[in-house]
Structure 1
Amino acid sequence: MALVDVWFVLIAVLWTGYLCLEGFDFGVGMLLPVVARDEADRRVALGTIGPVWDGNEVWLLVAGGATFAAFPEWYASLFSGFYLAFLLLLVALILRGIALEYRSKEPRWAPVLDRVLTGSSLAAALLLGVALANIVHGVPLDADHEFTGTLLTLIHPYALLGGVTTVLVFALHGAAFLALKTDGPVRERAATVAVTAGLGAIPAGAAFLVWTLVDGAPVWIVAPVLVAALGLAGGTLAAVRGRSGRSFTATTVAIVAVAVTLFGSLYPDVLPSTTDPAFSLTVVNAASTPYTLTIMTWVAAVVTPVVLAYQAWTFWVFRRRLTREDVVDAAH
């Protein structure tokens, strides 16, 4: 396997990690008004992601940095063409961070910040799905690999379906996470919401993945599509039976399978051109020099295990379920 292929896989892995980890963060934020009826419930729900959400966001920064270093042409075309869309996504992420950090420091503003958190989480999940769908579907590129469309070019049925699917899958993922990490009223409501979200995520995800197959994906993509379908169905069924651990595991598997489907459908392109296939960016014409990729590979081989070990340790330390008694005792 050439280094360009290795780095395409590594970037896909980084995006997969981000979708799995930040996915339940977005889900918790979106579902906050549904699962929490008072301040104690809200503290319980937000306490599940409080120690980890900023660490989960690092995966996005690393994915963007790796794309810039390994495939600068891809990065340039992507961020120039998706400029307004990514700006909206960045604003949503900033607002979400402000809401999470300041609601406990400014109690008077907590109700407003809670609404900001819910809205920004929903917007970020939607925009992320729209962006990924456009990357897989392709955008108008000219012979110089420059984006020739507008913001409206990125808004079409397949992209919108991708955004809706992402929202519903993250809602299911977040509900399963809350059911796993809490006890008491929040857990009961989260289990109920997980079933409802699953009943929406299954048909939306099936339609999106089938459309991806019809759009020209290779035959082997059928396998991860089936895994994703089983994951969504299994996660919903486990939620019905009150098996929160199995539900969260199944939704995680589903998200991984969806990521494999999207990046597997994309390869060997990194950004297809709808103007002319000859103008598409590929892992070859968008890549950095072999020397750059070699140095990056050595750095990644040393740093990646350390980062993974630290994140695993963080989740282990904060593994216990949260209850209303925990947050009341902490407040006093």
Structure 2
Amino acid sequence: MSKLSVAAATSHTLSLTAMEEASRLGERTVGVDHLFLALVVNEQVAGQVLRSLGITLDLAHAAVAAQHAAQLASLGVRSEAPAPGRITFYETNDYSLNESACEVVKRSVEGKKRGDAAAVLREVVTEPSGLIEAVLHRLGTSPDVVLARLEEVTRHPARAQHSFGPGALSSSSEGFVPADVAQVWALLCDPARMPEWEPGTGSVEDVPSRATIGSRWVSQARTEGPDGKPFDVKQERRRAAVKLTDREEFSRIEWRFTWPDAPKSPMRQVRIDLEPAAGGTQLSLSIAWVRRPDAPRRIPLLRWLLRPLRRFGMWMQLMQLSGSISRVFR
């Protein structure tokens, strides 16, 4: 990916997660502390580094709250911060990054900096106010330790992503879930729980008692968001047939989605690989749209022109999928 693409993707995912974490505290303004919390659950090496140092989301929340309380106490103000609640970002509005958070993101793309999560982490732990430095000390580490570990980890190449083979328009990404593999597997392998994590699924029907390879069920599309606003879902896309196409206990699971009321629509395949990681589970997510043999063919030039737009759409689907799974455990 180009620097622009990496920076845009990272800014989007980190800002969104930071806003989600702010909403758990009943706040609407996102600061560097919320960016730090977002980095703790980030799937890139930045999050892996923080978690390898024993920093979990719960510990990070406690350290941030303790530091804010200490700052207020130094001014003679005694205040107890509320415990993080559930994510209400999707039911509320008017969120924005404050000046310090905006500066951190801006500095992460200056010069030769790539704008990825590692670049953002470097700026967060060295931000001028010293807030995150103090938080790190409460967590038993320091900016120097984080930066040294980050430098060490970024020397290693990224692992190869799963491929669906020729003929499929596919995309892959990484994700992180702050829960162990057994918990994440229990969520993903149960068809009845699909509405909890699959963004487009509102309900399921004809669910098997135990899903094995070849099991099938019906998914009804989600027709409104958490805030009650209706989704514009075409009638022929409201019912999907789901088939479990691959499964390896605690390690890999894959589904195929088709739309019986739109028989010439491309098939959608979703695969998730799970791997134990410090502080939770690392996910490798892949999605593919597979054209049906009897579907009408587009003009080659039109297919070529639409390809970047379709790839962006798949990237958005992967980000939504990863975020939705993570939110179940936050």
Please indicate the TM-score interval, normalised by the length of the shorter structure. under 0.3
Find the structure with the greater CA-based Rg: 2
**Higher strand fraction: Structure 1 or Structure 2?**
2
